[in-house]
């Protein structure tokens, strides 16, 4: 949180940071890193994740590298506003799985003077903008796009290619279900 002095008034303001990219690009790792730094600095943090994300743990946010931080699973983005009153820094993982109201929730939190750090997939498995992520990137003060490495050719990967035959938009998975691919390999539709 920053304080801005205007005449004899103090104004508290926050901001929104978005960390986005494909699967296996380090989004959650970066979210955890930023939150642990804030915690080390003595700031009060709260971390949230969608209650549907139970891949590694029901409550903790855990990266593919098995770094973890305690979190609160919530059903909808509106719950984040209710549960983050005392926090100075609010972390949100797997933002693409939340409802589009998450954009307004993050705006409200930042307007209350909170630092909001959001991590999520920017595109779904078909290469389309995913859930509230485009709106979050538009309103964020800071956007960090991270990349994986294409498993086919070694280029920077920005797509999450689904190797299963499912056509459901939301399918939780790992390396057995998804592979990071670059634009060229994704568009060719072939995987080694």
pLDDT in tens, 130-143: 999 999 999 999 99
94 is catalytic: yes
Locate 137 and state its tokens. 């990137």
Which pLDDT does position 55 carry in this prediction?
Answer: 56
Q: Which residue out of 30, 94, 174, 177 is catalytically annotated? A: 94
Q: What whole-number percentage of the chain has pLDDT above 70?
A: 78
What CA–CA distance (Å, rounded) separates 14 from 26?
A: 24
Residues 55, 104, 46, CA angle at the centre, nearest 5°? 50
Which pLDDT does position 6 carry in this prediction?
Answer: 54
Which pLDDT does position 52 carry in this prediction?
Answer: 77
Q: In 3D, which of 169, 115, 160, 151 has the Cα closest to residue 21?
A: 160
User: Which domains can be identified in the chain, with CATH numbers?
Assistant: 2-147 (3.40.50.300)
DSSP 80-104: HHHHTTT-SEEEE-SGGGS-TTHHH
Q: In 3D, which of 7, 20, 190 has the Cα closest to residue 117?
A: 20
Pairing of strands 68-69, 15-21: unpaired
| Assessment of whether the complete model's pTM goes beyond 0.95 | no
Q: 92 pLDDT exceeds 90?
A: yes
Locate 165 and state its tokens. 């035959």
Which of 15-19, 61-65, 132-136 is least confident?
61-65
pLDDT in tens, 131-182: 999 999 999 999 999 999 999 999 999 999 988 766 766 665 555 688 999 9
């Amino acid at each position: 949180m920053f304080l801005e002095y205007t005449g004899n008034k103090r104004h508290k303001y926050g901001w929104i940071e978005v960390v986005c990219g494909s699967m296996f690009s380090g989004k959650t790792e970066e979210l955890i890193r930023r939150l642990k730094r804030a915690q080390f600095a003595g700031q009060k943090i709260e971390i949230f994740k969608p209650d549907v994300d139970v891949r590694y743990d029901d409550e903790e946010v855990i990266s593919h590298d098995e770094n973890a931080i305690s979190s609160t699973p919530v059903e909808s983005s509106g719950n984040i506003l209710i549960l983050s009153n005392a926090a100075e820094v609010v972390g949100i993982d797997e933002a693409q799985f939340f409802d589009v109201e998450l954009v307004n929730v993050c705006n409200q939190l930042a307007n209350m003077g909170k630092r909001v750090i959001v991590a999520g997939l920017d595109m779904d498995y078909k290469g389309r903008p995913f859930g509230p992520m485009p709106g979050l990137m538009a309103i964020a003060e800071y956007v960090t796009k991270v990349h994986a490495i294409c498993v086919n050719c070694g280029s920077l990967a920005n797509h999450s290619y689904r190797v299963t035959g499912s056509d459901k938009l939301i399918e939780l998975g790992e390396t057995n279900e998804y592979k990071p691919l670059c634009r060229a390999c994704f568009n060719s539709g072939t995987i080694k």
